């Protein structure tokens, strides 16, 4: 998964989820992106 893909996924999630969930989703995606960068 490239950074661009993560960006697109992140934007899609932000559009779909309501505000209370946005922070949780962003936090999870940030963790996922960090894991991919370590590989």
CB atoms within 10 A of CB 28: 12
Q: What ranges do the domains of the chain cover?
A: 1-27
5 φ, ψ (degrees, to nearest 5): -60, -45
Please tell me the predicted confidence (pLDDT) of residue 3: 77
Please tell me the predicted confidence (pLDDT) of residue 18: 57
What CA–CA distance (Å, rounded) separates 36 from 39?
A: 5
pTM, entire model: 0.39
Please tell me the predicted confidence (pLDDT) of residue 38: 78
pLDDT in tens, 1-39: 577 888 888 777 777 765 666 778 788 888 888 888 876
Q: Contact 19/35 with Cβ under 8 angstroms?
A: no
Please tell me the predicted confidence (pLDDT) of residue 39: 67
């Amino acid at each position: 998964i490239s950074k661009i893909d993560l960006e697109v996924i992140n934007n899609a999630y932000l559009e779909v989820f309501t505000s209370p969930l946005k922070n949780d989703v962003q936090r999870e995606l940030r963790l996922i992106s960090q894991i991919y960068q370590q590989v």
